[in-house]
Amino acid sequence: MKQGAQDSTGIRAPGAGGDTVPRVPRQPQAADPRSERESLAAADLQEPGARGEHTHGERPVRRPLVRRSSVRGQVLQALRTALVAGELRPGEVYSAPALGEQFGVSATPVREAMQQLTLEGAVEVVPNRGFRVIERGDRELAELAEVRALLEAPVMLRLARRVPVERWAELRPLAEASVRAASSGCRATYAEADRAFHRAVLSLSGNEQLVQIAEDLHRRAQWPLVGGSTRPAHANLVADAAEHTALLDALVAHDLDVVRTLVAEHFAGAD
């Protein structure tokens, strides 16, 4: 839907400034054994050009310090943020060794994170080179918005009739957080807050499969279009977030007509 501060993973969001890329500190021996095995097994993969992937001429992705032991998870989150912020540009190819050098980690967790992004449809494998960011156009974005509306809108309307007022009131901090994120003008920060609000609403259905599918569609809808701006107008972010608070107000007031109108408008303007 309708760059920056440090996010909840301890990773600096895009646009934080600085021309150097901090390196990831070596993980403690007593931390996650999986990380230790990755480091040992991937020692020979840290050299540039591993597996035939090029490492020169790529646009740097400014990345931050990783503080916890789940290197792969944090790299995955950082790459997702870079996608939303436009630091990983549609059509460009990125190699795991080159990105690993920027993160200060071996190529293994980067490659694993990229494989996950392949499953999510964000990138595609380019043999002997690395991973290309998928180019998306207006039609795909419109299709995602339509599918999200078909999936989420009926659930929200059903929940509006069944969920007690006090449960809706508990979501107020998330709606307000999305407004603050929108006010910051940071696309990546707002994208996270936007998903958090929708996830909390759909979680009231008790259907975890629904929540996971909707989250995947929502994340894909937030990736920038090829040739499109990675910095949507500040007013658009603020207006989108305001719909969250207005929707919550209507749900608390149990005004189903307003809820129906706001839900339709919210998904009609989804991006």
pLDDT in tens, 97-146: 999 998 889 999 999 999 999 999 999 999 989 999 998 888 988 999 99
pLDDT at 36: 43
For residues 14 and 200, what is the distance between their CA atoms, to the nearest angstrom?
25
In this structure, are residues 212 and 220 in contact, taking their beta carbons and an 8 Å threshold?
no
225: phi then psi, degrees, rounded to nearest 5? -80, 155
DSSP 3-state of 251: helix
- Phi/psi region, residue 133 (left: phi>0; alpha: psi -120 to 50; beta: rest), is beta
Q: In whole angstroms, give the CA distance from residue 35 to residue 28.
A: 9
Distance CA 14, CA 9 (A): 13
- Ranges of residues in the chain with a pLDDT under 70 are 1-69, 227-233, 269-271
**Helix 172-184 vs helix 234-252: crossing angle, to nearest 10:** 170
pTM of the model: 0.70
Q: Which amino acid is at 134?
A: I
Separation CA 169–CA 234 (nearest Å): 27
Mean pLDDT of the chain: 78
**Structure tokens belonging to residue 61:** 């992705």
Domain boundaries defined on the chain: 33-133, 138-268
Q: Say if CB 21 and CB 12 are below 8 A apart.
A: no
Is the fold of 33-133 the same as that of 138-268?
Answer: no
Q: Are 4 and 15 in contact (CB under 8 A)?
A: yes
Q: What pLDDT does residue 185 have?
A: 83
pLDDT at 132: 95
End-to-end CA, the chain: 4
The CA distances from residue 217 to 91, 98, 146, 152, 271, in Å, are 21, 29, 10, 11, 11
CA angle 5, 6, 9 (to 5 degrees): 150
Q: Which CATH number fits domain 33-133: 1.10.132.10, 1.20.1250.20, 1.10.10.10, 3.30.930.10?
A: 1.10.10.10
**CB atoms < 10 A from the CB of 120, how many?**
16
E strand map for the chain: 93-94, 123-126, 130-133
Secondary-structure breakdown of the chain: helix, strand, coil percentages, each rounded to the nearest 5: 60, 5, 40
Phi, psi of 52 (to 5 degrees): 80, 5
Q: How far apart are CA 117 and CA 254, in angstroms?
A: 40
Q: Give me the long-range contacts of 211-214 (CB less than 8 A, separation at least 24).
A: 213/151, 214/148, 214/151, 214/152
13 membership: H or E segment, kind and range: none
Which superfamily, per CATH, for 138-268? Answer: GntR ligand-binding domain-like (1.20.120.530)
pLDDT in the model for residue 54: 53
